[in-house]
A and B are shown apart, each in its own frame.
Chain A
Amino acid sequence: MLLSKNSALESKDNEIFEVEESIAIQSELIKTMTTMVNSKAYVNERNQMVPEARCRKQANYHVEQNNKIVDEELSDWESKFFEVDMDDLHELFMAANYLEIESLLNGVTKRVGDFIKACKNVEVIRQTFGINNDFAAQQEEEIRKLNSWNHI
Chain B
Amino acid sequence: MEVIGDLPRELFLEILLRLPAESLMRCKYVCKYWHSIITNPKFIQLHLNYNYNNNVCVLLKRCLVTCLGQKENLLSLVCGNGFSFVNLDVDLSLYRKEPCLQLLGHCDGIICLSNYRDYILLCNPATRESMLLPESRLPCYHSIRSLISQTTGLGFGYDAKSHCFKVVRIVSYWEELRGSNLPHFSRVEVYSTGTDSWKEINVTVPAHVRYSPCFETYFNGAFHWYAMDDNGNEVILSFNMGNEEFQVIPMPSFISKHDHSICSSLLVWNDCIALVIYPERGIEKSFEIFVMKEYGVKESWTNVLTIGPLTRVERPLVFRKNDEILMEGSHGQMMSYNLRNKEVKDLQIYGIPKSFSTLAYVNSLVSVEGGNQMLDQRDNTDFGW
List the interface of chain A (C-beta within 8 A of B).
86-87, 89-90, 93, 97, 105, 109-110, 112-113, 116-117, 119, 121-122, 125-126, 129-135, 140, 143-144, 147, 149-152
Contacts and interface: CB of A to CB of B under 8 A. Distances in A.
Contacts of A143: 28-29, 35
Interface in B1-40: 1-5, 7-8, 11, 14-15, 18-20, 23, 25-32, 34-35
Among B8, B11, B20, the one with the most A-chain Cβ atoms within 10 Å of its Cβ is B11
A92 to B, nearest CB: 10
28 contacts: A87-B3, A89-B3, A90-B1, A90-B7, A97-B8, A97-B11, A110-B18, A113-B18, A116-B15, A117-B19, A117-B23, A122-B26, A125-B26, A126-B30, A129-B5, A131-B2, A131-B5, A131-B31, A131-B34, A135-B29, A135-B31, A135-B35, A140-B29, A143-B35, A149-B127, A149-B128, A152-B25, A152-B26
Nearest to A147: B25
Nearest to B34: A131
B30 A109 contact: no
B363 interface: no
Given A87-B3, A90-B1, A105-B11, 4 more contacts: A129-B5, A132-B31, A140-B29, A143-B28
B14 A109 contact: yes
Contacts, number: 87
Contacts of B127: 149-150
A135 B35 CA distance: 10
A140 B32 CA distance: 10
Contacts of B18: 109-110, 113
Q: Which 9 A-B pairs have the closest CB atoms?
A: A90-B3, A122-B29, A86-B3, A113-B18, A109-B14, A129-B4, A130-B2, A112-B15, A117-B23
Given A93-B3, A140-B29, A116 B23 contact: yes
B106 to A, nearest CB: 19
A112 B3 CA distance: 9
Bin chain B's interface residue count.
20 to 34
Contacts of A125: 26-27, 30
A134 B29 CA distance: 10
B31 A134 contact: yes
Interface in B229-280: none
Contacts of A89: 3
Contacts of B7: 90, 93
B130 interface: yes
B307 to A, nearest CB: 28
A27 to B, nearest CB: 16
Given A129-B4, A130-B1, A105 B14 contact: yes
B6 to A, nearest CB: 8
B129 interface: yes
A28 B329 CA distance: 50
